[in-house]
Amino acid sequence: MHPVMPLSTRALRCGLTVVAVAMLNSCAGPAPPPLRLHADLKQLMASVVDPAADVVWESVGTIYTADGTEEIRPRTDEEWARVSQAAWVLTESANSLMIGNRPKDTGDWMRFAQEFSDISLKAARAAEARDAETLFTAGSDVYLACTACHNQYNVDLTTPTTP
Ligand code: HEC
């Protein structure tokens, strides 16, 4: 036999439940973070994404000349650090493509941005491991990730947009 709960306790519990439900309804989830989203997509691309991608792409490759081939590789600690910094910028810039009014939709856009992040992470890890071959492959995959999104949203990079 359960003891009968005194009326006052029952009322108190009910009251608390009502308050809790009211709170859930009024503020479903935590308050949004106080972000400062100053750059528009174009500025983000031109000032954050593109320069970082250039560092990654220019870090590895092979130059063929009449005299033979020249292997481009990061060689010093500073050179490797610069590439991994740039790859981390790419990895994290993908998140800033997914917040505020930047996403163009909540489906494909988010998928492209996530792939962009995951692939950039591979470049960052390869740079940290000083693995030039993997870095090269990751760099080409990053390029494909940029192009996939640009194609989907009809971004034409062949015509210069800056005055
Ligand atoms: C999730 C989608 C998405 C991804 C991923 C993406 N971009 Fe973009 N990019 C855009 C959109 C949309 C624009 C057009 C922005 C505008 O003009 O409003 C753009 C524009 C640009 C521009 C033109 C900027 C200007 O000055 O007009 C460059 C350069 C660029 N992107 C480079 C890159 C590079 C490099 C990568 C990959 C390393 C990349 N983008 C990845 C969506 C994306």
Residues 66-108 pLDDT 10s: 999 999 999 999 999 999 999 999 999 999 999 999 999 999 9
- The answer, yes or no, to whether residue 27 has pLDDT greater than 50, is yes
CATH class of 49-152: mainly alpha
d(CA 63, CA 69): 6
Atom of ligand 1 nearest to the CA of 97: 1
Q: What is the pLDDT of residue 163?
A: 54
Q: What mean pLDDT comes out for the span 18-33?
A: 65
In the chain, the amino acid numbered 163 is: P
Question: Has residue 9 got a pLDDT over 80?
Answer: no
For the stretch 133-157, pLDDT in tens is 999 999 999 999 999 999 999 999 9
Q: Domain segments of the chain: what residues?
A: 49-152
Predicted pLDDT of residue 28? 74
Q: What does pTM read for this prediction? A: 0.83
Between the CA of 126 and the centroid of ligand 1 the distance, in Å, is 24
Residue 6 clears pLDDT 60, i.e. is over it: no
pLDDT at residue 15 in the model: 52
Which residue ranges have their beta carbon within 6 Å of ligand 1?
41-42, 45-46, 49-50, 53, 90, 97, 109, 112-113, 116, 142, 145-146, 149-150, 153, 155, 157, 161-162
Distance 44 CA to ligand 1 centre (A): 8
Can you tell me the distance from the alpha carbon of 144 to that of 80, in angstroms, rounded to the nearest whole number? 23
pLDDT at residue number 109: 98
What is the pLDDT, as a whole number, of residue 16? 52
Residue 20 has pLDDT above 70, yes or no: no
- Backbone φ/ψ region at 155: left (φ over 0), alpha (ψ -120 to 50), beta: beta
Number of the ligand 1 atom closest to the C-alpha atom of 113:
1
CB burial string 71-99: b at 16+ within 10 A, e below: eebbeeeeebebbbebbbbbbebbebbbe
Q: In this predicted structure, what is the pLDDT of residue 14? A: 47
